[in-house]
Each structure stands twice: as structure tokens, then as C-alpha cells.
């Protein structure tokens, strides 16, 4: 970690000095060595410019304690588990210490160590989930544990956030809703409750469930282009029950080329003629995919169409399949940037955009849906195929 000498190590050295034990340690660029035991404390970055380096970390011999800072940024359980299983020295206590700000309940730390084994501790009106897992010691702190060291300006800002959160949880008649208070900024950001759902989420009605295979469906697809993920999401709409069924077929940042996307679509769709509704930002890409014999049409976009579609989708309950982990995470984090202006944030939307493309097509928000279906079927040109909508 190239910046360790400028960030973590000076902070660590400050604590050593406070303890009066600086003579016991040798400070180096990326390591701190105990002069008596010769045991090193190594500082390494999980993510580097060339990608994830957990493979290098788990190859370090003799590792007995791992401390992960800002673990909310580490969302991949598989790479974490590989590292965790590499800490296995016999005859000594092996420890993993995770330091993080609680995020939402889709994070693997919550799912692995808190979800089914926790108690509720109320802190300033906020119900905080504390792990009771037999292999976990959960220490939860907030600004309330450090008030004497905080500036007046900081405390004034925290009080402002608290009052704003109380106001958001209070209706027009002055009745305070404690359950709504648990979803506010004060609860989730300041006190540190694991969020069931973020304040101001755009599509709040969601649930996990099976995909309804009896409904007409199509696929929505969004393209990463640079650093964002490519997606392929199967979508069906039940208008009577007001349900949007979604199943995550693909969500990854491998930066696929056109031929890769063509092969992806052919391998992931259920039937050869199934319709894909793709992002229209790149007309040429849609045309090239179509040449690859994929039944694809461009999505509908017009001034104000994003906001209009999201508002219509908000009337429905979105049912995501158990494997749709990225869909679930985005639904919990997709909020308004400016609700009055109808502008959502430009992140946590890659699978949601794909769902919206398919939803617009299936519900005929897209005024050209019928014409597109006809043209797409003609382009594929197979007498045994039919377009499913």
C-alpha cells in the first residue's frame, strides 16, 4: 500500500507514542516490527490500480491476525473468505478484526455474522443490531462515546441531522413514527444502524421471491462502457397484482466487447428468440448485436422518461430472485439526488436501468413497442421463433 507511510503508519505510530512503547518498535515504510519478538505488522491495500490483490495477501506465510479497515468498501464475500481461510496457524489464537461503518443488510458482514444472530441495543432512540454470533465479539461505537473530544461545530451539525431526522419521522399531525426514524440519516449514518432500506430510496416496495414463469417476459440490458458493469436482467410484469418480477442473469465489470455481449446474450437467455431491450445510448452497439442474430431492440428514452418510468415502477412491488444479489443491493441504495426535480443519483442504477428498459417495453410506456417487436422479429428471421413480450 503505497500511501501507508503517509496515512495508516503515522496514525499507528501516534498510538505507540501515547502508550510510551516507541522504543519497542521499528517503523519502516510498509511495516512496523516488534524489536523483541521480531514479529512484523504489515500494511497492505486490498485494492490497487491493477485490481484486487487478495491472492497476494493470502500467500503471506505465518499470518495470525488480519485487521480490515473500511470493510464497508469490501463487498465480495468470496475473496474475503479465501483470505479468512488462509489464517490457520496452529497453537495460537487466530483473529480477524473488521472495522467498518454499517451499511445495509445486504453486506456480507451483516449476512454472515449479524442477520440470524443478533440482539437489539437502543442508542439514542435508534435500534442497533449487535451480533451475538458465538465466534464474534461485536464492539459498536458512535460519536456519543467520544463527545469530550469532538468540536462544537461537529456536535452542532450532528444535532441538526438529528432534528431533521425526527422531523422526517413526524407526520403532519405531529405524530412521531419510531419505525420511520430507524430509516433516517441520523439512525443509519450517525448512530450506525444496519439499514433495511436507505432514506429516500426511489423504489421502496421490494421483496425476495420466485420468478413467475407464466408471465410474458423480456430482458433488459445496460452496458458498462468504461468502469460500470454490463447487465442482463430478465423481467416480467404482473399488472393485476402490481408486481415486477426480476431475475439477475448477468452483472459484472469484465468490460465485454461486442462479440462477448452477443455470446453472453445467446448463452443466458432462455429461448433463442427471447427479446432483449438494450440501452439506446449506443445505436451502433445495438445494431452490431442485432447483426449477431440476437433479438434485440433499443430502449425508449425521451425527455423526462426516466423520472416518469421510475414513478410508475414505484407503484409496483419488485420481486427479485434469491440469486439477484446486485439487484437487491441497488434497490436498497438507489435514491433521489433531487427529488423535487425528479433527478436520481447516477449510481446504484445499472441493474435498475436494465429493469426499467424492459418494464417500459412490457407496459407499453414505450410508444413504439409494437413496431420494435415486429422489426426485431424480422431481423432474426427464423420461422420457428416468436417474440416474447
Lowest mean pLDDT among 155-169, 177-191, 303-317, 365-379: 365-379
How confident is the model at residue 380, as a pLDDT? Answer: 53
Q: How many domains does the chain have?
A: 3
Q: What's the CA gap between 140 and 193, in Å, rounded?
A: 10
Bigger pLDDT: 343 vs 62: 343
- Cα 261 vs. chain centroid, distance in angstroms? 23
For residue 389, being part of any structural domain is answered with no
DSSP 166-212: HHHTB-TTS-B-HHHHTTSHIIIIII-PPBSS-TTBS---EEE----
For residue 387, being part of any structural domain is answered with no
pLDDT tier, 254 (very low <50, low <70, confident <90, very high otherwise): confident
341 shares a domain with 213: yes
136 shares a domain with 90: no
Residue 185 has pLDDT above 50, yes or no: yes
Last residue within a domain, chosen from 102, 136, 151: 102
**CATH number reported for the structural domain that contains residue 347 in this entry:** 3.30.420.280
187 shares a domain with 291: no
Residue 2 has pLDDT above 80, yes or no: no
345 shares a domain with 295: yes
For residue 143, being part of any structural domain is answered with yes
pTM for the whole structure: 0.65
Residue 387 has pLDDT above 60, yes or no: no
36 shares a domain with 79: yes
Exposure on the CB side of residue 232, measured as CA atoms within 13 A: 18
pLDDT tier, 367 (very low <50, low <70, confident <90, very high otherwise): low
As a whole number, mean pLDDT of residues 89-111 equals 90
Residue 156 has pLDDT above 60, yes or no: yes
How confident is the model at residue 74, as a pLDDT? Answer: 86
As a whole number, mean pLDDT of residues 162-169 equals 94
Question: Could you tell me the CA-to-CA distances from 227 to 75, 207, 253, 256, 350 in Å, in that order?
Answer: 16, 29, 7, 11, 11
DSSP 239-290: TTTTEEEEEEEEEE-S---HHHHHHHHHHHSSSTT--EEE-TT-HHHHHHHH
For residue 140, being part of any structural domain is answered with yes
Query: What residues make up the domain containing 359?
Result: 206-380
Last residue within a domain, chosen from 144, 170, 197: 197
Q: What's the CA gap between 50 and 147, in Å, rounded?
A: 40
Residue 176's DSSP bridge partners are 170
Q: What's the CA gap between 268 and 273, in Å, rounded?
A: 12
pLDDT tier, 52 (very low <50, low <70, confident <90, very high otherwise): low
For residue 334, being part of any structural domain is answered with yes
Give kind and range of the element (H or E) at residue 129.
strand 126-131
- Helices 305-313 and 350-362 cross at an angle (nearest 10°) of 80
136 shares a domain with 95: no
157 shares a domain with 50: no
Report pLDDT digits (tens) over 272-293: 999 999 998 878 899 999 999 9
For residue 274, being part of any structural domain is answered with yes
185 shares a domain with 63: no
Q: What's the CA gap between 41 and 47, in Å, rounded?
A: 19
As a whole number, mean pLDDT of residues 19-25 equals 93
Question: Could you tell me the CA-to-CA distances from 216 to 89, 316, 324, 361 in Å, in that order?
Answer: 55, 17, 19, 11
304 shares a domain with 217: yes
149 shares a domain with 229: no
Last residue within a domain, chosen from 55, 84, 102: 102
Lowest mean pLDDT among 14-28, 30-44, 105-119, 363-377: 363-377
95 shares a domain with 143: no
Give kind and range of the element (H or E) at residue 320.
strand 317-320
For residue 385, being part of any structural domain is answered with no
Contact assessment for residue 219 and residue 269, using Cβ atoms and an 8 Å cutoff: yes
**CATH number reported for the structural domain that contains residue 18 in this entry:** 3.40.50.300
How confident is the model at residue 7, as a pLDDT? Answer: 73
Is residue 64 helix, strand or coil? coil
How confident is the model at residue 11, as a pLDDT? Answer: 86
For residue 386, being part of any structural domain is answered with no
What's the chain's average pLDDT?
88
369 shares a domain with 247: yes
Amino acid at each position: 500500500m503505497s500511501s501507508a507511510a503517509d496515512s495508516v503508519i503515522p496514525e499507528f505510530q501516534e498510538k505507540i507514542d501515547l502508550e510510551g512503547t516507541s522504543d519497542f518498535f521499528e517503523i519502516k515504510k510498509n511495516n512496523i516490527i516488534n524489536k523483541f519478538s521480531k514479529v512484523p505488522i504489515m500494511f497492505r491495500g486490498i485494492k490497487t490500480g491493477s485490481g484486487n490483490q487478495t491472492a497476494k495477501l493470502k500467500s503471506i506465510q505465518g499470518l495470525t491476525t488480519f485487521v480490515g479497515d473500511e470493510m464497508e468498501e469490501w463487498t465480495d464475500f468470496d475473496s474475503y473468505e479465501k483470505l479468512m481461510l488462509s489464517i490457520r496457524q496452529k497453537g495460537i489464537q487466530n483473529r480477524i478484526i473488521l472495522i467498518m461503518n454499517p451499511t445495509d443488510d445486504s453486506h456480507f458482514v451483516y449476512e454472515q455474522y449479524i442477520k440470524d444472530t443478533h440482539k437489539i441495543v437502543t442508542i439514542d432512540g435508534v435500534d442497533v443490531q449487535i451480533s451475538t454470533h458465538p465466534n464474534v465479539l461485536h464492539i459498536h461505537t458512535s460519536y456519543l462515546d467520544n463527545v469530550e473530544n469532538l468540536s462544537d461545530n461537529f456536535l452542532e451539525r450532528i444535532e441538526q441531522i438529528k432534528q431533521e431526522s425526527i422531523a422526517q419521522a413526524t407526520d403532519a399531525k405531529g405524530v412521531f413514527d419510531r419505525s420511520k426514524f430507524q430509516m433516517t440519516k441520523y439512525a443509519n449514518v450517525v448512530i450506525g444502524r444496519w439499514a433495511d432500506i436507505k432514506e429516500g430510496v426511489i423504489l421502496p416496495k421490494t421483496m425476495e421471491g420466485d420468478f413467475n414463469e407464466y408471465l410474458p417476459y423480456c430482458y433488459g440490458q445496460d452496458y458498462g462502457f468504461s468502469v460500470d458493469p454490463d447487465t442482463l436482467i430478465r423481467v416480467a410484469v404482473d399488472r393485476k397484482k402490481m408486481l415486477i418480477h426480476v431475475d439477475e442473469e448477468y452483472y459484472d465489470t469484465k468490460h465485454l466487447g461486442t462479440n462477448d455481449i452477443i455470446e453472453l446474450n445467446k448463452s443466458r437467455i432462455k429461448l433463442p428468440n427471447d427479446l432483449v431491450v438494450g440501452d439506446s445510448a449506443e445505436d451502433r452497439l445495438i445494431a452490431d448485436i442485432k447483426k449477431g442474430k440476437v433479438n434485440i431492440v433499443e430502449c425508449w428514452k425521451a425527455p423526462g422518461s426516466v423520472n416518469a418510468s421510475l414513478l410508475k415502477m414505484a407503484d409496483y412491488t419488485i420481486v427479485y430472485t434469491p440469486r439477484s444479489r446486485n439487484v437487491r443491493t441497488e434497490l436498497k441504495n438507489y435514491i433521489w439526488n433531487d427529488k423535487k426535480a425528479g433527478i436520481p443519483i447516477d449510481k446504484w442504477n445499472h441493474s435498475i436501468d436494465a429493469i426499467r428498459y424492459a418494464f417500459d417495453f412490457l407496459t407499453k410506456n414505450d410508444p413504439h413497442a409494437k413496431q420494435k417487436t415486429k422489426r426485431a422479429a424480422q431481423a432474426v428471421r427464423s420461422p420457428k421463433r416468436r417474440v416474447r413480450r
